[in-house]
Structure 1
Amino acid sequence: MDDEDDLPGIELPVPDPGEPLATPDTRSGFVALAGRPNAGKSTLTNALVGAKIAITSDKPQTTRRAIRGVLTRGDAQLVLVDLPGVQRPLDSLTGRMQRRVQSEVREADVALLVLNGEEGVGPGDRWIARQLADASAGGRLPVVIAVNKVDRIDRERTIRTLMAASELDVAEDVFPISARTGKGVDALLDHLVQLLPRGPFYFPEDERTDQPRHVLLAELIREQVLRRTFQEVPHAVEVAVEEVERPKDDLHVVVANAWVETPSQKGILIGAGGKMIRNVGTAARKELERELGTRVHLDLQVKVRRNWRSDETLLDRLEID
């Protein structure tokens, strides 16, 4: 990977000084989850928050936005920022993703480097560790490492990976965890809480994410596309929810578009006789019903927009910063 120039950070939400959400005795802060694609950052975010706020799949580029999950426990509130996997920018989409990673890490209170225990420590992990080391120069940014997916490897491989993680020389604390089973997650959480600065809560205690509802619903639909398509199609698909109505107390109507870049991709996503898009719609509807708490009628259309990943106007519309 090539080093990228520093870019200006973004302003993070701050509590309304007229309506404090907690006392000064509380701890609160932003924890940025960095790592390569498929390290399990989204699964870990969901496990810590205790709710599904980030979609998961085995495809790279699953996470395209910085997704904030809110965990309030006693007198501490962690705002977990699930970041896109760090990779070389190839187009406007991935360029935006990487700029967001950089800005969020710079503004974080703690950085959590998530490693894929199945794959071990590779060049990409070492590159990310160097960036975090630069950001933590002078002790400004505490860095913690979590070696994920240890439930899938034996004890010997776990020990080797933990030793390799320690040799990255970016963090004193390395935790073996399984975001999928919960193994080691409580110990990691306890440690992160201790690293938070003292300050008022950023969000109400019952809030789980600041993600707009229409974005979360669109992501739940895209997740089902990712789980059923292969090769280039998953990377070329984005979903936008255009309308959400509630004509009855027990029914939501969701209108959404699935954008692809070529007619051939559209054909694959629709499938022979419409079979693929029906399967996607059926599975997505179940996820939407779980999220909305009512029956859902999903109107899902597939549309072509060539080179949308380099279309700045559409990326703005899709709210991919």
Structure 2
Amino acid sequence: MTRSGFIALAGRPNVGKSTLVNAIVGRKVAIVSDKPQTTRRAIRGVATGDDWQLVLVDLPGVQRPRDALTERMQRRVERELEDADGALMVLNGEQGAGPGDRFIAAALRTAKVPVVIAVNKVDRLDNPGTVLALQQAAELEIGDEIFPVSARTGMGMKPLVDHLIALLPEGPFFYERGEGSDQPRDVILAELVREQVLRRTFQEVPHSVEVVIEEVEWPRGDLALVRALLWVETDSQKGIVIGSGGKMIKAIGTAARRELERELGSRVHLDLSVRVRRSWRADEGLLDRLGIE
């Protein structure tokens, strides 16, 4: 007998959902950044054991829609919850439960699936701080199980995973063993590049950048040529991404190349270019082509 199913992750931006997905899967399938709203697509991470398979849907940060991009992200949240076998709400233990968490909890109360809470980043708390964070989680009044965890160190992760597995219905696996994500290769590569942009830019730039992989060639077996295009919304953002004398784009490219080499298992030559496309986040046609549903 095997169990398999989908668990939707919900939580405020920057509570560590992507880190948690990567920890459960055992490899990077979702990019990590200290910037809010890192996740734009519902990245499916696939964790497979001897007789179980967890398909983790790392939802975009639940928020009130403010433009075409965030409206799409919010619709995706609602749709994924409808199709899930369970939901996992992630809280930032350092920050406690605030208005944003209560907004999400209210949305999860209407979900017709079991809800579990993970209080993340407890490795950074002392015992009284952990107790307080767990009390605040209980006051959200959703679900009946709360797990203190650290996705970064792995602390408390096994009991959480065991509980999520118990929520899964009996059924065959959805993905082959060894598959860590259902995202197309080019989307994974683009996200790895965007991760490095997020880590190095500030103010308005992170949310205004999208990365598209234009081409991947293999001139020989041990070398991949990757051409990537970075969309920004203004000339000033383009200047920031390129940097004085091209220093910023070079730093982004150097760091991104290392990530692409780990993903592709070969040497990589990365060719980055930056273009301005004003108000791309409100361009429904472009969002369609980017696969942001």
User: 1:128 and 1:81 mapped to 2: Cα distance?
Assistant: 16
User: 2:240 and 2:106 mapped to 1: Cα distance?
Assistant: 41
> Is 1:41 aligned to residue 17 of structure 2?
yes
TM-aligned CA deviation for residue 243 of structure 1: 0.5
Q: What do the CA deviations read for 1:108-150 (whole angstroms, capped 9, x no partner)?
A: 00100000111100111111111111113xxxx1110000000
Question: What corresponds to 1:29 in structure 2?
Answer: 5
TM-aligned CA deviation for residue 212 of structure 1: 0.3
User: 2:40 and 2:91 mapped to 1: Cα distance?
Assistant: 19
User: 1:98 and 1:290 mapped to 2: Cα distance?
Assistant: 32
> Is 1:72 aligned to residue 44 of structure 2?
no
> Residue type of the partner of 1:43?
T
Secondary structure of 1:158's aligned partner = helix
Question: What corresponds to 1:173 in structure 2?
Answer: 145
Equivalences for residues 154-233 of structure 1 within 5 A: 154-233=126-205
Q: What do the CA deviations read for 1:22-75 (whole angstroms, capped 9, x no partner)?
A: xxx211100000000001000000000001010000101110000001111111
Q: What do the CA deviations read for 1:265-307 (whole angstroms, capped 9, x no partner)?
A: 0001100000100000011011111111111111100000000
Aligned length: 293
Question: What corresponds to 1:53 in structure 2?
Answer: 29
TM-aligned CA deviation for residue 199 of structure 1: 1.0
List gaps (5 residues or longer) in structure 2.
none
| Fraction of identical pairs, as percent | 69
Equivalences for residues 102-117 of structure 1 within 5 A: 102-117=78-93
Question: What corresponds to 1:131 in structure 2?
Answer: 107
- Normalised by the length of structure 2, the TM-score is 0.99
Runs of 4+ aligned structure 1 residues displaced above 3 Å come to none
Question: What corresponds to 1:89 in structure 2?
Answer: 65
User: 1:242 and 1:113 mapped to 2: Cα distance?
Assistant: 35
User: 2:230 and 2:190 mapped to 1: Cα distance?
Assistant: 9
TM-aligned CA deviation for residue 193 of structure 1: 0.7
TM-aligned CA deviation for residue 182 of structure 1: 0.3
- Normalised by the length of structure 1, the TM-score is 0.90
User: 1:98 and 1:142 mapped to 2: Cα distance?
Assistant: 20
User: 1:232 and 1:276 mapped to 2: Cα distance?
Assistant: 16
User: 1:121 and 1:150 mapped to 2: Cα distance?
Assistant: 14
Q: What do the CA deviations read for 1:216-253 (whole angstroms, capped 9, x no partner)?
A: 00000000000000000001011000100111011000
User: 1:303 and 1:153 mapped to 2: Cα distance?
Assistant: 43
Please provide the CA RMSD for this pair. 0.7
User: 1:215 and 1:93 mapped to 2: Cα distance?
Assistant: 17
